[in-house]
Amino acid sequence: MTEKKPKGNCRHRWTMSNVRNGYLVVEGCFHCRHRTSFFSEEPVPPQDDYREGDHFWSYLGSSQASKFDLKCEECSQEVPLKDVMALMLCMRCDSECGVYKAGSGEKGSKTWAYVALCANTSHASGRCVTKPGIKALNEYFNRGIQDPHKKIIVVSCESRKSVDTCQGIVLADVGLTEIY
Amino acid sequence: MRMSELVKQGVFKTFNEPGDKEIKGVYISDMVSDIIGIGPGNLLVTLQTHKNLIAAANLVDVAAVVFSRGKTPTDDVVALANKAGIGLLGFDGDTWTLAKKLYELGVR
């Protein structure tokens, strides 16, 4: 039996846990133009329109996706990532965007910014991906990189300037029907 | 095995500068949502040639990507791979034949 380290002073070695496969479903409100997304584990993703308070949510699309949490192999600490809907690579389209700035690392470094997307682009509830979640994602994706100058930075989607003009690449299975 | 040793065998097409990363393993998948779960240093074998794949491959720091069944990436995909320092290789045969060939060449 391996001895688990105490959580307080552990240099975490994260591994993916609780991996679930399903669909990332995106909906839009024609009223306020915001978008919301959710993860569905149903065999066929729901496509119904519905009203929620002032919002009129309509189905915009879906793609196969997976969700996961992170668990430390050393101390067994778990970081749930239920608020992360998808990850997105920043394509550096707008120098005024917070994600662009986060990805502008030191000279000579190859910094790549990825955005952890939460469910609601309006952030009206004041919630986004949690700080412990972002910290764990950064630690996880920077482990074992071969190039010492390469760095992955994961930021929450609160930093993004505009969902409408953003040209980031969402890591979801959008091209599965285009193989052949 | 390193990428330079693999490319030297002359079995694969190269779509860009393949680099010289160490190959720590091989992973075969056509799903981006699956690829983001692999460890760094894998040679990624796939049929997918879209940009999402490069975005995921960069995140998990693959050694390189090998497209099977003669799949050819578009110029914008090659350009993104170049920026990310990800070598793109091609193989005309199917994925099973490619897997066997990699094993024969000493990739473990």
Residue of A nearest to B35 (CA): A171
Which residue numbers of A have CB closer than 8 Å to B's CBs? 16, 19, 21, 64-66, 68, 87-89, 110, 112, 114, 141, 143-147, 150, 152, 169-176, 178-179
Which of B23, B32, B38 best probes binding to A when mutated, by most A CB atoms within 10 angstroms? B32
Identify the pLDDT of residue A176: 59
pLDDT tens-digit map of B8-27 = 999 999 999 999 999 999 99
Identify the pLDDT of residue A138: 96
Identify the pLDDT of residue A121: 79
pLDDT exceeds 70 at position A4: no
Strands A50-52 and A55-72: antiparallel
Both structure tokens of A134 = 């972002």
Dihedral sign (CA A87, A88, A90, A94): negative
Which of A13, A23, A89, A167 best probes binding to B when mutated, by most B CB atoms within 10 angstroms? A89
Q: How far is CA B22 from CA A84, B43, B66, B78, in A?
A: 31, 9, 15, 21
pTM of the model: 0.90
ipTM > 0.85?
yes
Strands B25-28 and B42-46: parallel
pLDDT exceeds 80 at position A64: yes
Contact B63, B42 (CB under 8 A): yes
Inter-chain touch B61–A19, beta carbons under 8 Å: no
Residue of B nearest to A154 (CA): B59
Contact A116, A154 (CB under 8 A): yes
Q: Quickly state the pLDDT bin for A124 (edges 50, 70, 90).
A: confident
Ordered structural domains, chain B, with CATH: 3-104 (3.40.1390.20)
- Helices and strands counted in chain A (H then E): 2, 9
**In chain B, residues 30-69 whose CB comes closer than 8 Å to chain A:** 30-34, 36-37, 39-41, 47-48, 50-53, 55-56, 58-61, 63
Inter-chain touch B52–A143, beta carbons under 8 Å: no
CA distance B41 to B65: 11
Q: How far is CA B89 from CA B6, B33, B46, in A?
A: 10, 22, 11
Residue of A nearest to B49 (CA): A179
Q: Quickly state the pLDDT bin for A6 (edges 50, 70, 90).
A: low
Tell which residue, B64, B19, B17, has the closest CA to residue B40.
B64
Report chain A residues whose CB lies below 8 A from the CB of B85. Answer: 110, 147, 150
Rounded to a whole number of angstroms, the distance from the CA of B11 to the nearest CA of chain A is 23
Contact A73, A32 (CB under 8 A): no
| Residue corresponding to tokens 């630690």 | A139
pLDDT tens-digit map of A69-112 = 999 999 999 999 999 999 999 999 999 999 999 999 767 679 99
- The residues that bridge with A152 in the sheet, in sequence order, are A112
Report chain A residues whose CB lies below 8 A from the CB of B53. Answer: 175
Identify the pLDDT of residue B9: 94
pLDDT tens-digit map of B30-84 = 999 899 999 999 999 999 999 999 999 999 999 999 999 999 999 999 999 999 9
